Amino acid sequence: MRIRIARVTARTSDIAKAAGVLRAGGLVALPTETVYGLGANAEDPAAVSRIFQVKGRPPSHPLIVHIGGARLLDDWVEDVPATARLLAERFWPGPLTLVLRRGQRVPLEATGGLETVAVRVPDHPVALALLEAFGGGVTAPSANRFGSVSPTTANDVRAELGDAVDFVLDGGPCQVGVESTIVDATGDAPSILRPGGVTREDLEAVLGSPPAVPSTSRVRVPGQHPSHYAPRARVVLVEPEKVVAEAELAQELGHQVGVFLPAALAGAAVKAHAVVAVPGSMALYARGLYGFLRELDQRGCDLIIASLPVEKGLGLAIANRLRRAAGPRPTM
């Protein structure tokens, strides 16, 4: 099946076609402010199962259900605590996902068999127009193969998934660039299960105290696999002051080395195969992170040397993604 691309202006007819694909059980790649998602009708178990097949994703890994507004939350979940409503009112539409008790509309195929469901409202006009035209919820993990670098442009989707997608809506480059923050909101003390586009500091300002960021959780959520968001090249994390020396040593040993050069070392000469100058702005770094990883893959690097940013604000999400990218690779 040939992919059709609806451009950033997304005419009404393009939205209508995409909604029709969803109703027919097809898959639509859609833009959000975070990354591009691989969407299916959230109430169609067969369509949801096809997402797992296309991505090569284990069926035990839950998906996020995207809905058209906070007013619809009670249609999809049960027992919403007051803190969850507060967070929804403050951050939706936006890059925040709430984990709550599953409502009857959500099939277990979408939750990995759990009685909880992850829900959010995307902050992108094309995604919101599609949700309105479709009239239901859309399950949409990132539109890439399981564990690999998430797509932030329509071309990334095409390169990654080819004709496995029935329809692609091009909404331009994603403006946040890393996935949503996932918050366990099943109780009165919310905790961050995956750092993302809404920072811990943002949440603290609303909740009155900083939410916990546990290293492990009883709730399974997207992005918890030890190796995730990973390029083909192996990622090695070192202290910022050691980036240049480690990169040059690896290059001398025969690697095709890509370097994430920290902003503090801007302009430094590095003997390496390819160098990406990391922005000093964490917002710009987050927006470009996955593009940087894809670029170094495309330039033939087999090893990427990087350091972690200060883990405040969006730096926490960036550090999370880099650690997962550097995680243990699966053995064959």
* % residues pLDDT > 70 (the chain): 92
- Give the tens place of pLDDT for each residue, 285-326: 999 999 999 999 999 999 999 999 999 999 999 999 999 999
- Give the tens place of pLDDT for each residue, 207-223: 999 999 986 656 656 66
Residue 268's CB is within 10 A of a number of other CB atoms, namely 13
* Position 3 confidence tier, pLDDT thresholds 50, 70, 90: very low
Strand segments, DSSP code E, in the chain are: 5-6, 28-30, 37-41, 64-66, 77-78, 96-102, 116-120, 138-139, 167-169, 181-184, 191-194, 234-237, 257-261, 274-277, 303-306
* Position 6 confidence tier, pLDDT thresholds 50, 70, 90: very low
Give which of 120, 97, 151 is closest to 289, Cα–Cα. Answer: 151
What pLDDT shows up at residue 329?
A: 64
- Give the tens place of pLDDT for each residue, 237-267: 999 999 999 999 999 999 999 999 999 999 8
* Position 224 confidence tier, pLDDT thresholds 50, 70, 90: low
What pLDDT shows up at residue 7?
A: 44
What does DSSP say about strands 234-237 and 274-277: parallel, antiparallel, or unpaired? unpaired
Model confidence at 331: pLDDT above 80: no
| C-alpha distances out from residue 214 to 95, 98, 184, 194, 224, Å | 20, 16, 11, 9, 12
Average pLDDT over every residue of 174-199: 95
What pLDDT shows up at residue 10?
A: 56
Q: Which residue has the higher pLDDT, 12 or 57?
A: 57
Burial (0-12, 13-18, 19+ Cβ within 10 Å), 30? buried
Average pLDDT over every residue of 41-65: 96
* Position 328 confidence tier, pLDDT thresholds 50, 70, 90: confident
- Give the tens place of pLDDT for each residue, 75-108: 999 999 999 999 999 999 999 999 999 999 999 9
Q: Which residues make beta-bridge pairs with 55?
A: none
Give which of 163, 142, 164 is closest to 153, Cα–Cα. Answer: 142
* Position 228 confidence tier, pLDDT thresholds 50, 70, 90: confident
What pLDDT shows up at residue 119?
A: 98
Average pLDDT, the chain: 93
The CA-to-CA distance between both ends of the chain, in Å, stands at: 31
Average pLDDT over every residue of 31-39: 98
